[in-house]
Structure 1
Amino acid sequence: MNASSQDELINDILEYLVSHPQAADSADGVSRWWLARNARAPSQADVERALATLVERGLLRRVELPDGTVIYCCEASARH
């Protein structure tokens, strides 16, 4: 995925979070539900890279549940 496509994917995730600020999901859930209307159908690896970038930028929080599942949520909503 080129940088422009990665930026578009990141923007798609952020747009979803603007509409659903309390959303929290795994990378698979982000692909299936948050990006369901995305005609580009990004790969799981691309989604995981986008999520990692958003975590690095402080916009998403990565939370590991006791069973090892990793979920992502808006950093602001994670503080509540």
Structure 2
Amino acid sequence: GVALLAAVNCGLRVAEYSPLEIKQSVVGYGRADKNQVQDMVTTLLRLKEKPEPLDASDALAAAICHIHNDGLQQKIKRAR
């Protein structure tokens, strides 16, 4: 919470995604397990090796989700 508050106070945009949203964005299924997320992150980023530990692939999945979501939000703003 403190890190989010500090980011907002510095004028940074903050985005939050639930695990379900991240999995849906990356795997296409909100109830995917960590190994499925890891496999899709490896594929999407064209990595030679799977990210380890699984928390690393979760972090990359959150970043991928944000890129997808932020890009969509920008398109919606331009369309208005």
The answer to whether the superposition gives a TM-score over 0.5 is no
More helix by share: 2
Select the structure of larger CA radius of gyration. Answer: 2
Using the size of structure 2 for normalisation, the TM-score is 0.31
Using the size of structure 1 for normalisation, the TM-score is 0.31
Higher relative contact order (CA 8 A, sep 6+): 1
More strand by share: 1
